[in-house]
Structure 1
């Protein structure tokens, strides 16, 4: 009986010992060692080989993390044909395609190969071999920058690609011949390049397609073909987004009181010529739409000349006959919204935007109540239309006395204050609040200079909500001064407005035109810096350094 109990105990011990070999005991040390390469076929730096399959063996069981994204293969292969699998302690890559003659291939596995238990990635795992009798060794090094970074932007998702000079594809149509990804600092390096002439691009590959989406992904390009016959350093890309979609008028028609021109994307400039514009005909602009209104029916068709420009300077220049017939349909309601929630010191700046042109305003219904018996009456000289042939935005400039003992001022517009071009009155009231703050709570001064760039400039103070708090344009000077700033934390952004049109112009790849430069005040580590301003403070001597232009730095 004792012997049976002894045998049973030994069996239990053996079972537990076998289990212990499968995994670390609870509370034991964590495996922090990465997989170690034992052998590869073909061997790294092999010559005159054309493998149909690559096998890499490690010292432990492994797994693969997103191999389609994380394994970078250069020159370009058809990734749709490649099958990559992890089998126990091996990575097997089936190429399923013919390799080019006399070409050096690089398989950079980055962090894709990890141990099975803890996910530790194999370090510096790269396999290089040549189908010819030598290894190409030229290198391209540089850095990427993003003019308009967002929280979603990670430089490690930026692809830098080289295309052969005679390649008919580009960053929007096919994966590059050579490619790499930037690191967390935005630096990149492409190795083992064959001597030759190349077109160079960089883009944020959000959807992991190894191609750029010009409507949704920031990109940049070198306008000139580069000759690589020696190692090149100092390549610079500045990413930004631009919609290169063809600019089209998709339809035009009379719709419920307005003649509408519907576009496939928004215009940034418009010139409209039609008889009676600004007298009995006005227009509004909405998302991808221009609406032409008349305050009377017109029996004959009117010739409307449209000249429109989009953000990348594509143009529409057309003439269309528009009609304004009688209709019994009830026009859409007049709607409006105000810029409520703003602070001010001695002058209240308010604005109201309308969905249609407004023709008449009852000023007796416009006021700011002070108490139950006192109000500030808003007079005609206190407001004007932002554009007199649109009449869709009213700007108010209302002086407020310091003697009034309230802090919150409620701008009030009663119902039936505004009448639009179709005879509709506003059915709802507007009550928008604005806060009066004391001048002594403001920072006195923020000033500095811009180096490494030439005016004209647009310089912006960006608040903690990432909105433009103040903006000024510098035409002939590199020095800027902001006064009377609300206490808070700000960033400073500068746009190098090369053509002086008062806005930032994106790149146009098809016209080989680069985007206008954008740069920021940087901290000691070279990141976008913040400036804290407090009441009564003066902050002078700020230096904003212009970043390098796209291209090869000399």
Structure 2
């Protein structure tokens, strides 16, 4: 029995040792994996927002008699290129661009063989060089060298703004570049790239450094194709009328850019819409446009033309589109500008539906009438097929009148009453058009807006030239929407009667050429954009009040 007991104790001891060994092994493995997990990059904590620090430049920046082919810039951390084709630039520009290559923490720049003698070059990096992990850009850094004994050190600085809004929007306008062209090379404008240029910062400021003494022309250009050439009608341009003579640093240049007048007129787009209308768009507004069908000539008498308010586009409506091709002649102020041909596919089909359009949704007021119009020309509206119901009772004592100016607009007048429910029913075939397609029935329900929230305000506007036409635009207080247009000539009195109460502001345009619209810059004729003045703070139209206000304008 003793032997058995001893063997039993030995067996239990071995099992205990084995169990302890397994426990110890499990603990070691767990610690190993925990240690491995701790070796990973920690998550959380503050994000790295510090850009790479430049440690050395080889050759040194601002070097004269520069002969090297490779520039090496060393940083304190790994770097990478970020959209460098757009961000990097060398000024003056070169035919063959430098080559940029990253080698760990260094940027290697291989220069082309085409550098000119006795010239100061500036390499701007924009935001195209960033750290490897977080993409923090190196900003406000440029590398300058001179291929001759002199390092040009003059500068031109200033700011740019949008000529129409009088502001700079960093979300939309960061693509603006400022170009400097020596007057002896000014013939390249609009044809070749400007060699000397810079981008603007987030506030619209610019600074072109390391310039030589010379006479320059200066431009602000907001591009569409990033080629530093003003060659697109959609691009915005600004300039100083006079050249600048650079003998010392020049500051505080102010450039206003706008969509300018293209050098040559052209029809930028024309096509037949799915509803059968012919649309045409120009690359510039016209002052007194005239479109004529010259083939087939008999269609001219049948055509209906509807121009946009800006006179830069129009719709042409024909009773039937049965032509194979049609030829138009475009004129402005009775001067023929162009002629175009539009061809129609033989199997083309059109979905033409005359849809009445009203100026109300669910409310009507006693100041503004209900209006009826359509995208297509209206030849007549049958009053008998227009029904007004007041609390389900049909009312016939309303007026239906065609507008005296817009022949495609009809007014509905009625003595609307409070606490009544209304229905305006335009029955099927109520509206006649040059098309045979009738309108479908339209039912609109609404009530009277009972608020008496209307007021009057009268302005006396000082500092207006009696020989100049002014366009006065009433806008919402955020300057986003034009609510009313008025024109002042040889008068400084402005009246708004029965206007909804609320906050508004004014924009006044100096319409120098008297064409009743704002015109941007014409760089080819050295004409600046027409001046604009904004009221510096909103005003309030108060309900049931008549106000008198005096404002002083100052056009720059």
Decide: shared fold, TM above 0.5: yes
Alignment of structure 1 residues 2-81 onto 2, 5 Å: 19=39, 25-28=42-45, 30-78=47-95, 81=97
Cα distance change, pair 410–521 in 1 and its aligned pair in 2 (3 A): farther
Instruction: Give the counterpart of 1:135 among 151, 164, 171.
Output: 151
Tell me whether 1:126 sits opposite 2:135 in the alignment: no
Rg comparison, structure with higher value? 2
Cα distance change, pair 50–242 in 1 and its aligned pair in 2 (3 A): same
Deviation at 1:160, TM superposition (A): 0.8
CA contact (8 A) 1:366 1:378 kept: no
Q: CA RMSD in A?
A: 4.7
Aligned to 1:460: 473
Instruction: Give the counterpart of 2:389 among 354, 366, 369.
Output: 369
Deviation at 1:482, TM superposition (A): 3.2
Deviation at 1:316, TM superposition (A): 2.8
Q: TM-score, normalised by structure 2?
A: 0.74
Deviation at 1:440, TM superposition (A): 2.9
Give unmatched runs, 5+ long, in structure 2: 1-20, 342-348
Cα distance change, pair 46–468 in 1 and its aligned pair in 2 (3 A): same
Cα distance change, pair 458–356 in 1 and its aligned pair in 2 (3 A): same
Aligned to 2:197: 179
Partner-residue secondary structure (3-state), 1:511: coil
How big is each residue's C-alpha offset from its partner over 1:426-470, in whole Å with a ceiling of 9 and x where there is no partner? Answer: 331344567643463235537474669885221222336933212
Q: How many residues align?
A: 506
Deviation at 1:202, TM superposition (A): 0.9
Distance 2:480 2:497 in 1: 20
How big is each residue's C-alpha offset from its partner over 1:345-398, in whole Å with a ceiling of 9 and x where there is no partner? Answer: 424334444444333332222343323113255435x322534xxx4x2142x4
Greater relative contact order structure (CA < 8 Å, 6+ sep): 1
Alignment of structure 1 residues 111-260 onto 2, 5 Å: 111-148=127-164, 153-167=171-185, 172-205=190-223, 207-212=225-230, 214-242=232-260, 244=262, 246-248=264-266
Range moving further from structure 2, 329-338 or 131-140: 329-338
Aligned to 2:427: 414
CA contact (8 A) 2:509 2:531 kept: yes
Instruction: Give the counterpart of 2:438 among 413, 426, 451.
Output: 426
CA contact (8 A) 2:457 2:541 kept: no
Alignment of structure 1 residues 291-302 onto 2, 5 Å: 291=316
Aligned to 2:17: none
CA contact (8 A) 2:465 2:490 kept: no
Instruction: Give the counterpart of 1:359 among 361, 375, 379.
Output: 379
Deviation at 1:344, TM superposition (A): 5.6
Distance 1:137 1:250 in 2: 45
Tell me whether 1:504 sits opposite 2:518 in the alignment: yes
Partner-residue secondary structure (3-state), 1:154: helix
Cα distance change, pair 126–81 in 1 and its aligned pair in 2 (3 A): closer
How big is each residue's C-alpha offset from its partner over 1:65-123, in whole Å with a ceiling of 9 and x where there is no partner? Answer: 32223334221234x63322332211222233411221111123243333333333335
CA contact (8 A) 1:462 1:491 kept: yes
CA contact (8 A) 1:368 1:377 kept: no
Range moving further from structure 2, 243-252 or 496-505: 243-252
Aligned to 1:445: 457
Q: TM-score, normalised by structure 1?
A: 0.74
Alignment of structure 1 residues 234-383 onto 2, 5 Å: 234-242=252-260, 244=262, 246-248=264-266, 268=286, 269-271=288-290, 283-285=304-306, 291=316, 308-309=331-332, 316=336, 333-341=353-361, 345-375=365-395, 377-380=397-400, 382-383=401-402
